[in-house]
């Protein structure tokens, strides 16, 4: 981790199964000066029931849930290319896995970070598979009780795996009044660990508030166009917005200052003029 707020651009499944779209989203993250891009990985038959996968769902890939899920899933050829492309572009990448097999799949890439997504925070076999790698892990806490977070934290501490909790509200998009940002210092106090923020908001107000309250990382979904197919697209930021998003985070970081009672050169000059 760096000394500045760590910014992850969540590509997730917003690539819509198209490697060229994924590369364009990586390019957007690089241009915006993000620290990393993140994807999602699932083993469909382990995450979903056969009944669910056979159920109807209209999508660009077919008429069933399975067709839609398979259309959004990258495999070895795509992740090999993503790994190569991110190294070439000088940006870190990682992924949130939804099952232990997917977690083991990613080990071939020797990634710097892991991520536990809010929906799978209670999946203990997945947490164990992740924590045993001892990579720095972002743990999202959306829609979770204190007891569930307690259990997840215990798994990572048992394996002596470095982690960071992400305050998160699992609504898409999140309304500003739902943000409950005061949970950030509460999480930090309760677990004595670093805390970041995973954002699903429209705009940037809650994110800037999170940085002001001490979030050391921010994650935000990105897209080429919010009108594209996909459930995550409406709560995502487009490339130009992403540039502005990162700039505003950096401005808020600068505005926080040192907390020491001291005069800047500009204020010292005003003091000399107005107090003599």
53-98 pLDDT, tens digit each: 999 999 999 999 999 999 999 999 999 999 999 999 999 999 999 9
User: Mean pLDDT across the chain, nearest whole number?
Assistant: 95
Per-residue pLDDT band for 117 (boundaries 50, 70, 90) equals very high
Q: What's residue 202's pLDDT?
A: 86
Q: Is the pLDDT of residue 198 over 80?
A: yes
Cβ-proximal residues to 159 (8 Å cutoff; 6+ apart), any chain: 128, 131, 132, 134
Per-residue pLDDT band for 259 (boundaries 50, 70, 90) equals confident
Q: What percent of the chain has pLDDT over 90?
A: 88
CATH of domain 6-275: 3.20.20.70
Q: Is the pLDDT of residue 271 over 90?
A: no
Higher-pLDDT residue of 3, 5: 5
Q: What percent of the chain has pLDDT over 70?
A: 99
What is the pLDDT averaged over residues 179-188? 98
Per-residue pLDDT band for 172 (boundaries 50, 70, 90) equals confident
Q: How far apart are CA 112 and CA 108, in angstroms?
A: 12
Q: How far apart are CA 69 and CA 43, in angstroms?
A: 10
Q: What is the pTM of this model?
A: 0.94
* Whole-Å CA distances, 47 to 44, 53, 113, 229, 231: 5, 10, 22, 22, 18
Per-residue pLDDT band for 2 (boundaries 50, 70, 90) equals low
> Would you say 140 and 116 are in contact if contact means Cβ atoms under 8 Å apart?
yes
């Amino acid at each position: 981790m760096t000394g500045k707020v760590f910014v992850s651009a969540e590509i997730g499944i917003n690539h819509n199964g198209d490697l060229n779209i994924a590369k364009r989203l990586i390019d957007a993250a690089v241009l915006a000066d993000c620290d990393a891009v993140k994807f999602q990985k699932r083993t469909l038959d382990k995450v979903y029931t056969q009944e669910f996968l056979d159920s109807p769902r209209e999508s660009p890939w077919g008429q069933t849930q399975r067709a839609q899920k398979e259309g959004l899933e990258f495999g070895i050829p795509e992740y090999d290319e993503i790994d190569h492309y991110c190294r070439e572009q000088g940006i870190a990448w990682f992924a949130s896995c939804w099952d232990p097999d997917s977690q083991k799949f990613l080990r071939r890439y020797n990634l710097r970070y892991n991520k536990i997504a809010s929906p799978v925070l209670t999946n203990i076999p997945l947490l164990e598979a992740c924590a045993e790698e001892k990579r720095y892990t972002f743990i999202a806490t959306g829609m979770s009780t204190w007891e569930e977070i307690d259990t997840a934290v215990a798994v990572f501490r048992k394996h002596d795996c470095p982690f960071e909790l992400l305050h998160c509200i699992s609504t898409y998009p999140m309304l500003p009044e739902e943000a409950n940002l005061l949970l950030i210092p509460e999480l930090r106090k309760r677990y004595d660990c670093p805390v970041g923020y995973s954002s699903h908001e429209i705009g940037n107000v809650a994110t800037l508030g999170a940085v002001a309250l001490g979030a050391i990382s921010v994650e935000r979904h990105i897209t080429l166009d919010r009108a594209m197919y996909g459930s995550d697209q409406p709560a995502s930021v487009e490339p130009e917005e992403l540039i502005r998003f990162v700039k505003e985070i950096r401005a808020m970081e600068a505005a926080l200052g040192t907390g020491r009672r001291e005069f800047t050169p500009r204020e010292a000059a005003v003091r000399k003029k107005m107090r003599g």
